[in-house]
Amino acid sequence: MSGKKFSLTTPIYYVNGLPHIGHSYSTIAADALARYHRLAGEAVYFQTGADLHGEKVQGAAEDAGETPAHFAARVSDIWQSTWDRLDIRYDRFIRTTDADHRRAVAKIANAIHDAGQIEFREYEGLYCVGCERFLTDRDTKDGLCRDHETKPEARREANYFFKMSEHFDWLARELERHPELIEPERYRNEVLAMIREGSGLEDLCISRPKERLSWGIELPFDSNYVCYVWFDALVNYLSGCGWPDKPDWEARWRACTHLIGKDILKPHGVFWPTMLHAAGLPLFRGLRVHGHWQVEARKVSKSLGNMIDPLRMKARYGFEPFRYFLLREMSFGLDGSFNEDAMIERANAQLSNALGNLLSRTLNMTARYCEGVVPEPDDDGPDETVLRDACAAAATAVDHHLRRFELHRALEAVFQLVDAANRYIDRREPWKAARTAARAGELRTTLASACRALRSIGLLLAPFLPEASAELLRRLGLGDALRNARLPDDAARWNMLIPGTPTSKGDALFPRLERQDDD
C-alpha cells in the first residue's frame, strides 16, 4: 500500500423502485474507479447502499400491502444482490436502518441542535412527495414540480428547521477557495447560484410529524417527530466511514468523494456541507456529478417502461458490453443517450473487432509461428519504439483521466492503444516475414511486441472490463498479473514479458452481438 487513501460513495438508492440504467451507471462508474485506485495500491473504501425511509417508501410499502420495514428490507436485498450478480466490489452496502447509522443520525442531529442551529417553526408551503421536500418558487413551473411534473400538495405544519441559510456565505467562500470541491465546474456554479441571495433557497425543514410519517429515524430531542429522509440519508456517508466511534473514521472521511447524478446536486452541494459545518465536522473531499441517461431519446421512467434492467442486459449480451457502453458513451458530467443498437454497434466495432481481433491474431500467429510461447525479441526498432511509447502514453492518460473522473476519456486512451497495436501489426505484416527464414528475428520481435502491448492493454482495462481483462492476461500467460500489478507504472513497462511464457488462443474474447428482443 502507498498509504494513500481513497474513499468513494454512490448515492444510496430509494427502495421504492428497482435498479435501472441510471443507478447502474453511478454504481459501475464508482466500481471502475475503486478498482483502479486499488490497482494503484491505495487503501480504498467503496460504499453503496439503500435509502429505506421516507414517504415514498412508506407509500410503496402500502401499495404492496407490506409493512414499511418488511418491504424496505426485502427490496434492499434485491438491490444488494443485483450489485453482487454484476460483480460490483463494494466494501459496504449500507442501509439507513443499520444500527450504527441510526446512532450517527441521532448524534449529528443533537450536535446541530446543541449548536443552536435548529429551530421549531410553523411552516406553510407546497410539498412534493417525489422530491420529499417543500418546493421553492423556482422548483415549480405552471404549478407543477419541475422534476416530477406532479402537483405539489399545500401543507401547513409545525416542524424543526435547520438554520441552513446562515451557512451560505461560508459555503460560497469555501467553493471559491476550493474549486475542486465540486466538479465538473458547471455544477459548482449551479450550487453557487443556488446559495446566492434571492435564489429562494432558505432554511431546511428536517422533521416530519409522526402522525403523518412514522417510517423514519426518531428525532433525538422530540419523540413526536422523525427525521426528514434527506437529513437521515446524507449521514450515511459519515456513518459508513465509522463516525463517530471507529478510531480511523477521520482518515477515511477526509479521503471521501461522493459520486452522484445531477438530480441530487442540491442536497449534496448545499444541505450536506452546511450540515457538516453546523455540526463542527470537516467537509468531504469532493463531490463529482454526472449527467443523466435518456433511453431512446426519452427520460427514464416507470411509466414509459424504458428503465433498462442491468440483469436483463447481462442475460442478453453478457454484462461487460453493457458496462463498457455506459462508461465509454457518457462524457462524465454531460447527459448521455442509451440505445440498444448503439450498444451492440460499439461492442462489435470496439470489443469484438478492434480488441478481439488484436488478441486473436496475435495469439494465433504466436501459436502458428512461435510454438505458442512469447518469442524472444531482437532490439527495438523505430516501429517498436512508437508502440512502446504508445503504451506509456496510454498508462499516463488513464491515470490522469481517472483521477479527474473522466472515465470516458480514460477508455478512449486505452482504445487508442488498441488501434496503435493493430496498426503496428498491419505495418509489420508478420505473416509475410513468416515465409522467409531470414526474417525470423523480425517475426519474433513483431509478435513479442504485440504481446507486450496486449499486456499493457489488459492491465489498463482491468478497472473497466474486469472479466475480459483477467481472461486476456491469462491467455498471455499472465494469470497472476493483476494480483501484483501497480498501476499506472506497470502498464507503462515494456520488457515485462518473459520469452518462453506459454500463451493460449482461446475462443473469441467478445463474440459478435446481435440484437435480442425475446426474453
Measured CA to CA, the distance from residue 483 to residue 150 in angstroms comes to 51
- Cα–Cα distances (Å) from 163 to 106, 143, 173, 250, 515, in that order, read 18, 27, 18, 25, 54
Measured CA to CA, the distance from residue 154 to residue 127 in angstroms comes to 6
Give the ranges where 268-339 is alpha helix by DSSP (H). 272-278, 310-317, 319-329
- Segment lying near ligand ME8 (by CB under 6 A), choices 18-26, 184-192, 375-383, 413-421: 18-26
14 binds ligand ME8 (CB under 6 A): yes
* 148 in active site: yes
- Segment lying near ligand ME8 (by CB under 6 A), choices 6-14, 337-345, 427-435, 452-460: 6-14
Kindly identify the residues of this chain, within the stretch 37-76, that bind ligand ME8 according to CB under 6 A. Answer: 51
Q: Cα dihedral sign for 164, 169, 172, 176? A: negative
Catalytic residue among 4, 70, 151, 299: 299
| Least Å from the CB of residue 13 to ligand ME8 | 4
92 binds ligand ME8 (CB under 6 A): no
| Least Å from the CB of residue 310 to ligand ME8 | 12
Contacting residue, 98, 100, 174, 263, with ligand ME8 by CB under 6 A: 263
- Segment lying near ligand ME8 (by CB under 6 A), choices 5-13, 220-228, 357-365, 470-478: 5-13
22 binds ligand ME8 (CB under 6 A): yes
Beta bridge partners of 295: 298, 338
**What contacts 44, CB < 8 A, 6 or more positions away?**
5, 6, 7, 8, 34, 37, 38, 91
CA angle 427, 432, 435 (to 5 degrees): 160
Based on CB atoms, which residue is closest to ligand ME8, 336 or 356? Answer: 336
Tell me whether strands 256-261 and 5-14 are parallel, antiparallel or unpaired: parallel
Per rule CB under 6 A, count of chain residues that contact ligand ME8: 19
Cis peptide before 19 (omega within 30 of 0): no
Measured CA to CA, the distance from residue 133 to residue 205 in angstroms comes to 8
Helix (H, G, I), strand (E, B) or coil at 334: coil
Based on CB atoms, which residue is closest to ligand ME8, 260 or 485? Answer: 260
Catalytic residue among 53, 101, 113, 128: 128
The DSSP code sequence of 43-103 is EEEEEEEEE--SHHHHHHHHHHTS-HHHHHHHHHHHHHHHHHHTT---SEEEETTSHHHHH
| Least Å from the CB of residue 84 to ligand ME8 | 18
* 128 in active site: yes
* 145 in active site: yes
Helix (H, G, I), strand (E, B) or coil at 144: strand
Binding mask 212-251 for ligand ME8 (x = CB under 6 A): ---------------------xx-x---------------
**What contacts 434, CB < 8 A, 6 or more positions away?**
365, 368, 369, 443
292 binds ligand ME8 (CB under 6 A): yes
**What contacts 462, CB < 8 A, 6 or more positions away?**
35, 36, 39, 469, 470, 482, 485, 487
| Least Å from the CB of residue 299 to ligand ME8 | 7
Based on CB atoms, which residue is closest to ligand ME8, 107 or 388? Answer: 107
| Least Å from the CB of residue 328 to ligand ME8 | 15
Cis peptide before 488 (omega within 30 of 0): yes
CA angle 183, 188, 189 (to 5 degrees): 135
Contacting residue, 5, 7, 25, 175, with ligand ME8 by CB under 6 A: 25
| Least Å from the CB of residue 235 to ligand ME8 | 8
| Least Å from the CB of residue 260 to ligand ME8 | 5
3-class DSSP string for 242-268: CCCCCCCHHHHHHCEEEEEEHHHHHHH
* 314 in active site: no
Contacting residue, 109, 217, 300, 473, with ligand ME8 by CB under 6 A: 300
Based on CB atoms, which residue is closest to ligand ME8, 267 or 458? Answer: 267
Contacting residue, 5, 7, 11, 188, with ligand ME8 by CB under 6 A: 11
Binding mask 478-507 for ligand ME8 (x = CB under 6 A): ------------------------------
* Catalytic residue IDs: 20, 23, 128, 131, 145, 148, 299, 302
For binding to ligand ME8 (CB under 6 A), which residues are involved? 11-14, 22-23, 25-26, 51, 233-234, 236, 260-261, 263-264, 292-293, 300
